[in-house]
Amino acid sequence: QIGRSVSDRVVKTKSETERSKEKTPETKRALRPPNAMPLLHGASLRALLAGAAVAHLSSFPIVRASPCAPPQPLRLRAFASHSASEPPPPPPSSPSPSTSRVLASAAAACDCEEGAKPAICTADELHYAPVPGTEWRLALWRYRPPPEAPKRNHPLMLLSGVATNAVGFDLSPGASFARHMSMQGFDTWIVELRGAGLSTRGSELAAASTKSDMSSNSETNTSEEPQLVTKLANALAQLSVTFSGYVRDSQLRSITDSFFDRVTELVPDASLTSLEEVADKFLGLMELPQTSAIYDQISQLSQRLVKILGEGQQNVSPRLFGWQERLSATIEDLQKQLELIISYDWDFDHYLEEDVPAAIDYIKQQSVPKDGKLLAIGHSMGGILLYAMVSKCGFEGADPELAAIVTLASSVDYTTSNSSLKLFVPLADPAEMLRVPAVPLGTLLSTTYPISSRAPYILSLLRSQISAKDMMDPELLSKLILNNFCTVPAKVLLQLATSFRDGGLRNRAGTFFFKEHLGKIKVPVLALAGDEDLICPPEAVYETVKVIPQHLVTYKVFGKPEGPHYAHYDLVGGRKAVHEVYPCIIEFLSQHDDVSS
């Protein structure tokens, strides 16, 4: 295996040493994604994802149903809100009927009985950590050590991969990484980042709240107007509030232009000038602070727009059949796009600079380590976050508040590997990707999984991306695929895609390269890879490991030529992990659990 001499402390086994000498072209090819998998065109992939996103949004509220209701089998949707420690604050009072589904679902979630926790949460306790400066509350699953377990000095934080939740670390009583760590004496905490699992917004979006206030103030003025006018006014008000109060970028301008372009298709040529005047006035209103008076003007413009459409149809022959229904559908599409943008507007840096520090602070307050430090394990993107965190601390000369870290199938530089994620690199073009605000990965996987194991479908490759042959119980694999994945913002994927470019992963501004500063870190690192990991192959892991000071890093590849083999998730939940991987991790953490003087 590459990089076996990275440190005198590298863990070796006899079988691995022999394997490095005897590797054949066939075993090398086993690490590579099949050449038969075709590269889809970026536009085709975008269309597929956009359709799935709309279907996902139409079928399920963006803020998931209250866990007080009977749990749905084999489903864990993003934003399910519940608290066993501190309930989210109530939503704004007296929302109007036109308030978005975001506020409606939040209100339902806040009606839950305090102190309970949803059935999907199998931890001992469920906590919520507020993220300063935001309305997010991160769900933290806590597993307390039993009295007979060894005494430890540091709590243990677990971070999962992109678009995943806590379920991957706790699949079942007999296959629970988190529970196993707690039985070894570690006060174990799984962190669900914003948008994942049971994490929730405290009072939902200020933009939606503002829109609710405006529409409620103007309800008396529009209650006698046609329903179509009211629907249009509310949609345009939501767009206006989003523009001025939540995000400011070209994406919203593009959505606005696209909306009015679709409306012009319903207007005869003779009426285009009048419609353009309405559109121009609305665009002007979007630049102003949003108040009830502005909403009144938007309502008047909406009434005029509908009147233009109606009168236009009276003066042409043949008349356009069903123009009201087509306008209504166009308005609904606009609302769905806005809800996706508002609900999934964050990137990797938000996780790094806001979510993880908030989780660390909360865990320290609860566990009170003597030296104020934690141990941490990150799988996939969770490990990338740990690398990025210690890299920034190394650059700044700051204390990372981590006694030691373990990364499982993680890298900040994939340029030298044959990672299967390269299949999605065409989506990294911002002009393509930002037209899909979020990718409903959970919905896509749960929809395709029933046919993923049957040849000759290309989706049969899905299983090998997650787990090697015979490494996971089929029922647990199904539970993982159907429960562990959530919707992920396009901006997160765009930033992670920079790990396939020269220099590796960088911050959102493109000015800080995390790999460049890993040579300055002061935190011990255990980096583990799987021999048949198609997503993060060993060569990708080593590309990051090789720049870390040798006296601080331990690198090991799991898997043997004759088997068992380890794919991306097998380091956490494979059949052999409890006997082969877990002891390696526990030994490393125990070595670095001493309290510094």
- Of residues 73, 141, 137, the one with CA closest to residue 110: 137
Q: Tell me what pLDDT residue 234 has.
A: 72
475-510: pLDDT as tens digits: 898 889 888 988 888 889 889 999 999 999 999 999
> Euclidean distance between the first and final Cα of the chain, in Å?
38
**Residue 288 DSSP SS3:** coil
Q: Are strands 188-192 and 402-408 parallel, antiparallel or unpaired?
A: unpaired
- The domain defined by 125-195+347-423+464-591 folds into Rossmann fold (3.40.50)
Residue with tokens 């107007």: 225
How far, in Å, CA of 531 to CA of 141, rounded?
30
Q: Tell me what pLDDT residue 500 has.
A: 93
Q: How far is CA 517 from the centre of its chain?
A: 26
Beta carbons of 554 and 152 less than 8 angstroms apart: no
Mean pLDDT of 521-541: 97
How far, in Å, CA of 541 to CA of 380, rounded?
10
Mean pLDDT of 250-266: 66
3-state helix vs strand vs coil in the chain, percent to 5: 50, 10, 40
How far, in Å, CA of 140 to CA of 196, rounded?
11
Domain ranges of the chain: 125-195+347-423+464-591, 227-343
Question: Model confidence at 273, in pLDDT bands (50, 70, 90)?
Answer: confident
CA within 13 Å, CB half, 268 = 17
How far, in Å, CA of 450 to CA of 471, rounded?
19
How far, in Å, CA of 214 to CA of 203, rounded?
17
The single-letter code of the amino acid at 392 is K
Q: Are strands 438-440 and 402-408 parallel, antiparallel or unpaired?
A: unpaired
397-435: pLDDT as tens digits: 998 899 999 999 999 999 999 998 877 655 455 545 555
Token pair in block for residue 475: 């029922």
128-175: pLDDT as tens digits: 999 999 989 999 999 999 999 999 999 999 999 999 999 999 999 989
Question: Model confidence at 219, in pLDDT bands (50, 70, 90)?
Answer: very low
Write the CA distances from 121 to 81, 165, 271, 543, integer angstroms: 12, 11, 57, 36
CA within 13 Å, CB half, 432 = 17
Q: Name residues whose C-beta falls within 8 Å of residue 126's C-beta, 6 or more positions apart in sequence.
A: 82, 83, 84, 85, 117, 118, 139, 140, 141, 142, 198
Q: How far is CA 236 from the centre of its chain?
A: 28
How far, in Å, CA of 451 to CA of 524, rounded?
43
What's this model's pTM, rounded to 2 decimal places? 0.67
Q: Which of 44-58, 220-234, 423-437, 520-534 has the lowest mean pLDDT?
A: 44-58
How far, in Å, CA of 552 to CA of 521, rounded?
9
For the cut 60, the answer to whether the pLDDT of residue 538 exceeds it is yes
Beta carbons of 101 and 91 less than 8 angstroms apart: no
